Amino acid sequence: MDKDRLIVAQVAVKAAVELKTAGDAAPLGELAGQIQDTIYSLAGAPLGASDFAAAPAPAPQVSMSPEQMVNNAFTTQSGQAPVNLAAVPEAQPINENSPAEVLWANALFHAPGDWYDNTGEPRASKNGGKGPDFRHKTLKQGQYNLGLWIKSGDTPDWAKNKLGV
C-alpha cells in the first residue's frame, strides 16, 4: 500500500473509531470502509477501492479504549509498530534551536508541507547515506537548511516507528 493510501486508511479508521465511541452500531471495519470509499470518491478514485473491502478489520474488543483502537489502527500491514500519539508534542512554533522531538513532530505531523522528505534518496541516513532524512524548506541552521537525521541519537522512538525504522 503506498503512502497516500495508508494515510487515507488511517484517517478512515480514526473517523470510524470516533463514530463507534459516539454510539454508531455499524461494525468498525464497515464504517472505516464506507469512510475510505467516500474519501476516494471525492478524490476521483473508483468506488470500491477501499482496502477494508478485501480485509475487513477485526471487531474491536470491548476491553480496548478508543485511544488503544486508534493506536492499533496506525499499525501497518507490514507490522510496523503503532505510533504512540500521546508522546507526540503539541504543535508549536519552531526555530533552529527547538528540541529534536518538537522538530520531528513538526516534520511528521503538524507541518509536513514545510519539510522536504528525503527518505527516498540514496544519500539520506535512512538509506545508509550521510544526508538528512528531512530538511526544512525555509529554516536555516548556519548556511544550510535545518535537517533531521533518523539515525541520530536524539530521534524519538515514535518518529522511528512512524517511519518504519
* Domain count of the fold of the chain: 2
- Pair 156, 116 in one domain: yes
Can you tell me which residue has the cell 507490514? Answer: 78
Residues 50 and 94 in one domain: no
Is residue 37 one of the residues assigned to a domain? Answer: yes
Residues 118, 140 within the same domain? yes
32 pLDDT tier (thresholds 50, 70, 90):
confident
Placement of cell 535545518 in the chain: 146
Q: Where is pLDDT greater, at 38 or 75? A: 38
Residue 60: the pLDDT is 45
The residue among 50, 72, 74, 51 whose CA lies nearest residue 63 is 72
Q: Do 71 and 99 sit in the same domain of this protein?
A: no
CA angle 100, 70, 19 (to 5 degrees): 135
pLDDT at 58 over 80: no
Whether 12 maps to a domain, the answer reads: yes
75, pLDDT greater than 70: no
Q: Give me the domain span that covers residue 121.
A: 87-163
Same domain, 72 and 13: yes
